[in-house]
Amino acid sequence: MDGISGVEMHYYAICKRKLWLFHRGIRFEDDGNERVTAGKIVHENSYSRMDKEFAPDEDIRIDRQAGDVLREIKLTSKMEAADRLQMLYYLYVLKSRGIFRKGLLSYPSERKTIEVLLDEAGEAQVMIAMKNIKRIVSSEIPKFKKLPYCGKCAYKDFCLSGEVEVNGS
């Protein structure tokens, strides 16, 4: 929707700089990052009885679908807020097309599943995020800001290569 992908919605909730880089086609996820590789293994081997990768368009790629239930499979729940925003976005885009679904966030290694339903508050959150994403990706690259998960990020080496850290948000 409006050229925003589910991954970009997720990155928006995690790191504005990563979002900006990803939007411009700068991708480090496929360069052997062990966390990305572990996530792909969990994704491929979980919920195999459900239809894989429901993709109504190029920006939306949902991990699994069974009936009216969409499921995103994640390695850990450490970024649950970002995972939730990504699922809300998928539900929002589908609703705009007259398709109503329920979402589940699944963390197989933790044996944890969280239901996500699109309500008015969720819709408002998605609309604000979409507006902010458009602003961020059309601006200059955000300054580097050290975050708790930078150490495991596929973009770490790029961001730490001579950048000056910016404190605050």
Residue of 125, 63, 51 whose CA lies nearest to 89:
125
Residue 47: is its pLDDT beyond 90? no
- pLDDT cut 90: percent of the chain above it: 54
CATH label of the domain that carries residue 22: 3.90.320.10
Average pLDDT in the 31-49 region? 51
Residue 57 lies in a domain: yes
The count of domains in the chain is 1
Tell me which of 2-6, 34-38, 51-55, 65-69 is least confident.
34-38
The pLDDT of residue 18 is: 93
Q: What range defines the domain where residue 150 resides?
A: 6-159
User: What value, to the nearest 5°, has the Cα angle with vertex 37 and ends 45 and 141?
Assistant: 130
- Statement: the pTM of the whole predicted model exceeds 0.85: no
Is pLDDT above 70 for 30?
no
Tens of pLDDT, residues 115-132 = 999 999 999 999 999 999
Estimate the share of the chain in helix, then strand, then coil, as percent rounded to the nearest 5. Answer: 45, 20, 40
Residue 166 covered by a domain: no
165 within a domain of the structure (yes/no): no
Checking if the pLDDT of 136 tops 80, the result is: yes
C-beta of residue 107 within 8 angstroms of C-beta of residue 75? yes
Q: Is there a domain that residue 168 lies in?
A: no
